[in-house]
Chain A
Amino acid sequence: MDTFKKVATRTRVEGLVVLLVAVGYLWEAHNVPEFYQIPGVPGPTTFPRLLGIVFALAGLWLLVSPKDLMAFKKGAGASAEPRAPEAAPTAGGGVLGRIAADWHFYTMWAVILGYLWVMPNLGFPLATFLLLVVFVFLLGEARWHVVLGLALAATILIYVSFKMGLNVRLPLGVLEPWFK
Chain B
Amino acid sequence: MFEHLLNGFAVALMPTNLLIALVGCLVGTLIGVLPGLGPTATLAMLIPLVFSMPPATAMILLTSVYYGSMYGGSTTSILVNIPGESASVITMIDGHKMAMQGRAGPALAIAAIGSFIAGTFAVLMLTFVGAPIAAYSLHFGPAEFFSLMVFGLCTVASLTGTNVAKSLITTCLGLMIATVGIDLVSGAARYTFGNPFLQDGIDFVVVAIGMFAFTEVIVTAREVREGVRAEIVKAEKVWVQWKEFLYSLPSILRGTVFGFLVGMLPGAGATLSTFIAYNLEKRICRHPERLGTGDIRGVANPESANNSASGASLVPLLTLGLPGGGATAVMLGALMMLDITPGPLMFQKHGAMIWALIASMYVGNALLLLLNWPLVNVFARVMSVPAKYLMPIVLVISTIGVWSLSYSEVDLVLTGAAGLLGYYMRKHKYPIEPLILGLILGGRMEQAYRQALIISQGSNVIFLEKPISLVLLIGAVLFLLLPMILKKSKQFMAARETSVEAA
Contact = CB atoms under 8 A, between A and B. Distances in A.
Contacts of A164: none
Contact of A61 (B165, B222, B419, B445): B165
Contacts of B397: 158
Contacts, number: 146
| Overall SS of chain A's interface | helix
Contacts of B395: 112, 115, 131, 135
B190 interface: yes
A120 B391 contact: no
A41 B454 contact: yes
Nearest to B453: A42
A48 B179 contact: yes
Contact of A105 (B185, B222, B412, B413): B222
B225 A117 contact: no
B399 A115 contact: yes
A65 to B, nearest CB: 7
A128 B388 contact: no
Interface string B346-366: 000000000000000000000
B463 to A, nearest CB: 12
A169 interface: yes
Given A140-B388, A141-B388, A38 B186 contact: yes
Contacts of A40: 454, 457-458
A150 B385 CA distance: 13
A77 B123 CA distance: 54
A54 B389 contact: no
Given A116-B412, A168-B400, A44 B186 contact: yes
Given A117-B413, A120-B412, A170-B400, A55 B172 contact: yes
B168 A32 contact: no
A29 interface: yes
A141 B409 CA distance: 31
A46 B396 contact: no
Interface residues of A, number: 58
Given A61-B165, A128-B396, A135-B392, A116 B221 contact: no
B176 interface: yes
A117 B169 CA distance: 29
Nearest to A48: B179
B191 A28 contact: yes
Interface residues of B, number: 55
Contacts of A59: 169
B310 interface: no
B399 A136 contact: no
B224 A168 contact: no
B218 A108 contact: yes
B392 A47 contact: no
A51 B172 contact: yes
A162 B389 CA distance: 19
Contact of A25 (B176, B186, B400, B403): B176
B392 A65 contact: no
Interface string B195-238: 00000000000000000001001100110110000000000000
B122 interface: no
B403 A109 contact: no
A132 B428 contact: no
B169 A170 contact: no
A169 B407 contact: yes
Interface string B156-194: 000000010110110011011001000101111011000
B282 interface: no
Given A14-B428, A135-B395, A58 B165 contact: yes
Contacts of B222: 105
Interface of A: 10-11, 14, 18, 25, 28-29, 32-33, 36-38, 40-44, 46-48, 50-52, 54-55, 58-59, 61-62, 65, 104-105, 108-109, 112-113, 115-117, 119-120, 128, 131-132, 135-136, 138-141, 150, 154, 158, 162, 166, 168-170
5 contacts: A42-B454, A55-B176, A104-B225, A128-B396, A136-B389
Interface of B: 49, 163, 165-166, 168-169, 172-173, 175-176, 179, 183, 185-188, 190-191, 214, 217-218, 221-222, 224-225, 387-389, 391-393, 395-397, 399-400, 403-404, 407, 409, 412-413, 415-416, 419-420, 428, 445-446, 449-450, 453-454, 457-458
